[in-house]
Amino acid sequence: MLPSERMIVTDCDLEPGTRGYGVTAETDWGGAPTVLRMILGRQLEELRTRAGMTFEQAGAAIGVSHSTIRRMEAAKVARLRLADAEKLLQVYGVRDQQEIDTFLKSVREANRRGWWHTYRDVLPDWFAAYLSLEQAALQIRAYEAQFVHGLLQTEAYARALLGAGNPHAPAGATERRVALRMRRQELLSRPSPPRVWIVMDETVLRWPVGGPEVMRAQIDHLAEVNSLPHVTLQIMPFANGPHPAMRAGAFHLFRFRAPELPDIVYLSGLVGAVYLDKDDDVVVYREALDRLGAQSAPARKTEALLGAIRKEL
């Protein structure tokens, strides 16, 4: 994905890094190879710029087109060719063998498939991009207008929701989607989990997904997850009236450790998704989340609100 560009995804796979060339052994990638391609592409762009070379000159030096160089830097290639990457490092003047070896090791890692590839039978390509970002993020912020965030759903809630959203899908496909959603949640319990901050409209808790029993269990689960030190859950009460995100619908904001990566906003649709990383776009959503957080019930009152709504079910 090019910096400062809107990206509309219907057929793509979209993942965190450290300073310097390549990836250190200590880096926790969360199985996110595409974000790694984004980082490597930006590092190649920086090296080319430092070398004072154009796309055309770089391409000619290694025997590829200028558009191939552009696509490599923009992470718009399915795989980074190891030989091309090594030639570019040489052309750009990288002489330290350890740096070269580390970069090439990262290229090999970037070409691996994420764990979610095993669910490709039920996973749209455009949502694979989302999973790549989610698994790699340092911080995940989101506003949910209708449903509990996927990272916070119980199995029964997810099954009822996915079944309603895919009414013609075979039962086996629904169960595969549920399994994928539960697998995503493992990032909350990994050694270095992301910071997760979710603001949910009260509508989310009033919508009877799966019936009262499923909703009571879901609310209990939200209270439990909210007790985790790296999770913050806030509720936007009906009584607060209009708010900054009322026309936006659900959206997600990802932040990464890698200095090469900007914050990225994700907006979903029925047949695709939009990923925004242009500063002017991202700041609008970041400010909306800040205002939502300020206007919603304080995190310390979330448990009391959840308990009150649970009693009504």
Q: Say what the pLDDT of residue 181 is.
A: 96
Q: Say what the pLDDT of residue 25 is.
A: 32
Q: Say what the pLDDT of residue 243 is.
A: 72
Cα separation of 270 and 267, whole Å?
11
Q: Which of 133, 163, 159 is nearest to 257 (CA)?
A: 133
The pairing of strands 195-201 and 139-144 is: parallel
Q: Say what the pLDDT of residue 309 is.
A: 93
Select 33-113's CATH number: 1.10.10.60, 1.20.120.450, 3.30.360.10, 1.10.260.40. 1.10.260.40
Select 119-312's CATH number: 3.30.2000, 3.30.870, 3.90.1570, 3.30.450. 3.30.870
Q: Say what the pLDDT of residue 33 is.
A: 64
Give me the residues of the chain with pLDDT under 70, please: 1-33, 244-245, 247
Q: Say what the pLDDT of residue 140 is.
A: 97
Q: What angle do CA 30, 229, 267 make, to 5 degrees?
A: 55
**C-beta separation of 167 from 52 below 8 A:** no
Tens-place pLDDT, residues 125-177? 778 888 988 998 999 999 999 999 999 999 999 999 999 988 888 989 999 99
So where are the chain's domains? 33-113, 119-312
Per-residue HEC secondary structure of the chain comes to CCCCCEEEECCCCCCCCCCCCCCCCCCCCCCCHHHHHHHHHHHHHHHHHHCCCCHHHHHHHHCCCHHHHHHHHCCCCCCCCHHHHHHHHHHCCCCCHHHHHHHHHHHHHHCCCCHHHHHCCCCCHHHHHHHHHHHHCCEEEEEECCCCCHHHCCHHHHHHHHHHHCCCCCHHHHHHHHHHHHHHHHHHHCCCCCEEEEEEEHHHHHCCCCCHHHHHHHHHHHHHHHCCCCEEEEEECHHHCCCCCCCCCCEEEEECCCCCCCCEEEEECCCCEEEECCHHHHHHHHHHHHHHHHHCCCHHHHHHHHHHHHHHC
Q: Which of 262, 277, 286, 126 is nearest to 199 (CA)?
A: 286
